[in-house]
Structure formats: structure tokens, C-alpha cells
Amino acid sequence: MAFRLKLVPDNTKIDFFKNQALTFGFAILSMVASVIIVAIMGLNFGIDFRGGTTIRAETTTEIDLGEYRSALEALDLGDVVITEVYDPSFRADQHVAQIRIQAQDDSESVTPEMIAQVEAELEKVDPAVNFTSVESVGPKVSGELIQSAVLSVLAAAAGIGIYIWMRFEWQFSLGTVLASLHDVIVTVGLFSLFQIKFDLTTVAALLTIMGYSVNDTVVVFDRLRENLQKYKTTPLRDLMNLSLNETLGRTVMVVATMLLSLIALLIFGGDVLRGFVAAITFGVVLGTYSSIYMAKNFVLWLGVNREPKEKKKAGTTFADIDA
């Protein structure tokens, strides 16, 4: 007989509304606390948002990024990101690295003297290295990137709201958007609290979090819509509990699988990936919590139109659109 791993027993009957004032209140309180923390402590912006200088280095020998980082640590330059560039058009003996250094003391860019020191240290590691370009990103461009990051998150939230409204009803749309914004805001608050570096990869992680949160919430709402058609007289609260219990096994299995890979990346992924993976890890946990304890409460508070199917389908006129 085949072995099947079950993290959740069949036919669970958990009352997810038992302590709804506490669970839903904690979600709202965490959003407010996150906004306050960001306002007081600020974010530990990376080079993308703070401004700085990018040096392009080329060499004919294999690049050891660890040696490059070690060589620059003594200069105390603050946030330094070193990445190797790959391009199919490169020669076999052409190896390229980008060294990104944060602006020093709120200046427009790294001083020529500091750039000379960086180049000298790297030449000690690799005498064959050549520096082909030096580019600076000032505070004005960094400010525009911050605005673009905020707009991208808001645009994603608006798009999610429109999709869920078309797929279900406007009440589901508002609940999903609120849950997604909860995940993003609290994640940003955690980044501020622990002063984890916040850069463009973190913004990409926040958008990924929104997608995961929506996917998790839609699974529950889709089952709820099926149950609304199946049990026409059952109270909405009981149907929500039933839907959550029916999808609980899937939710726990997905979260456990994702956390296994994310924790491995947190431990072994290195500094370059740590901020991105940390954001995704926070988001997976928060997204699961908001899908179970936040989105449904908001929908229950707003209510759902439960007219008979011949008068109005459970959902909107767009309810039969394939996901």
C-alpha cells in the first residue's frame, strides 16, 4: 500500500472564528504597528534607493567574488554589492564583474580617491583586472525609484482587486486586497524592525508575496463559492469554516514545502539572496495567516449576496471566467 504523508487529518472541524476578535484584531494591529515602526526607524535602503557608484571590472581570469568582497571589507565602504555578469557574446576568457558601492556621507557619488582605492585593492587580488566604466546614481534617481516601487505595489493591488471582483464579488475583492496589503505592510515593518537591507530585489519579493497571498486566498474563496451553491441555507459563517477546513490540508502542505526551500536558501544562499529570501519567507507565513484569519472576516462583515441561482449566480456575471 502506498504511503501518503498527511500533515492535516481528514475532515477537520476547526472553528476559525472562535477567537476572531483576537486574530483579526492582531492582523490590524500588526499593520498599524508596522507603519509606526517604519515612520520611526525608517528602512535600511540599499544602493538602489540610496544612490552610489557602479564600477565595471573585466579580467581574463576566473572571478572569485569572495576574494573581491574580502579585499574591499577593509575600506569600510558600507553597502557593497559585487555580482558577476554573464553574456553569450563574451569571449571565453572574458569575465566581467560589477561592484556597486553606496554613496558615502550622503554625497552624490563615491569620490575619485575612494574609487582609486577600490581599484588598487582589486588589482592586488587580480593583477589582470581592468576597469572599463564608472557610473553614479544620485539621490534624485533613487527617489524616483522609491516612487516607482510604491506605485508598482499599489498598481498590483488594484489589478488584484479588479481580477477578484470579476472572478467573485466585490466583497471578496476588498477582502483579498486588504489581506494582500496586510502581508506587504507587515513585511516592510519587519524589514524596518530588523534593519534588513531594502532594495529593488525586495520590491520584487513584495510583488511575489502579493501573488502568493492572492493564490492562497482564491483557493479558499473558490471552495466557498462552490459551497454557497451547494448549501443554500447554511449560515455564511459555517460555510466559511467548512471551506477553510476543506482546504486546510492543501494550505499546510504548500506552506511547509515552501518553507523548507526558503529556509535552505536563508542558510546557504549568502548575502546576495538573503534580503529577497527573507521577504518571501515573511510573506509566506503572513499570507497564510491573512488568508485564514483576515480575508474571510472582512467578507463576513460585508456579507454576500445569496439570491437563488436563477436570479443571480453565486458570484458576478464574470464568475464563469476560467482562472
Half-sphere exposure of 46 (CA within 13 A, CB side): 20
pLDDT classification of 203: cutoffs 50, 70, 90: confident
Distance, C-alpha 177 to centroid of its chain = 15
CATH (residue range 20-44+142-302):
1.20.1640.10
Angle 128-130-133 from CA coordinates, rounded to 5°: 165
Q: What's the one-letter identity of residue 228?
A: L
User: With DSSP H G I counted as helix, E B as strand and the rest as coil, what are the percentages for the chain, rounded to 5?
Assistant: 60, 10, 30
What per-residue confidence (pLDDT) applies to 311?
47
**CA-closest candidate to residue 171, choices 289, 284, 306, 290:** 306
Dihedral class, residue 106 (left if φ above 0, else alpha if ψ from -120 to 50, else beta): left
Distance CA 108, CA 309 (A): 64
Residue 106 has pLDDT above 60, yes or no: no
What per-residue confidence (pLDDT) applies to 109?
60
Average pLDDT of the segment spanning 184-208:
88
pTM of structure: 0.73
β-bridge partners, 137: 52
Please say whether the beta carbons of 47 and 79 come within 8 A.
yes
Residue 2 has pLDDT above 60, yes or no: no
What per-residue confidence (pLDDT) applies to 314?
46
Residues 6+ apart with CB under 8 A from 255: 284, 285, 288
Query: What's the chain's average pLDDT?
Result: 81
Which of 8-12, 28-32, 87-91, 102-106 is predicted with the least confidence, judged by mean pLDDT?
A: 102-106
Contacts 24+ apart (CB under 8 A), 10-15: 10/249, 11/245, 12/245, 12/248, 13/241, 13/245, 14/241, 14/244, 14/245, 14/248, 15/241
CATH (residue range 52-137):
3.30.70.2040
Distance CA 146, CA 127 (A): 38
Which letter does DSSP use for residue 80 in this model?
E
What per-residue confidence (pLDDT) applies to 235?
86
Angle 256-261-264 from CA coordinates, rounded to 5°: 120
242 versus 10: the higher-pLDDT residue is 242
Distance CA 228, CA 300 (A): 13
Q: Cβ atoms within 10 A of the Cβ of 89, count?
A: 5
pLDDT classification of 5: cutoffs 50, 70, 90: low
Query: What are the pLDDT digits (tens) for 213-259?
Result: 888 888 888 888 888 888 888 888 888 888 888 888 888 888 888 89
Q: Cβ atoms within 10 A of the Cβ of 2, count?
A: 3
200 versus 186: the higher-pLDDT residue is 186
Residue ranges, comma separated, of all CATH 3.30.70.2040 domains in the chain are 52-137
Please say whether the beta carbons of 124 and 98 come within 8 A.
no
Distance CA 323, CA 320 (A): 9
Average pLDDT of the segment spanning 82-105:
80
Residue ranges, comma separated, of all CATH 1.20.1640.10 domains in the chain are 20-44+142-302
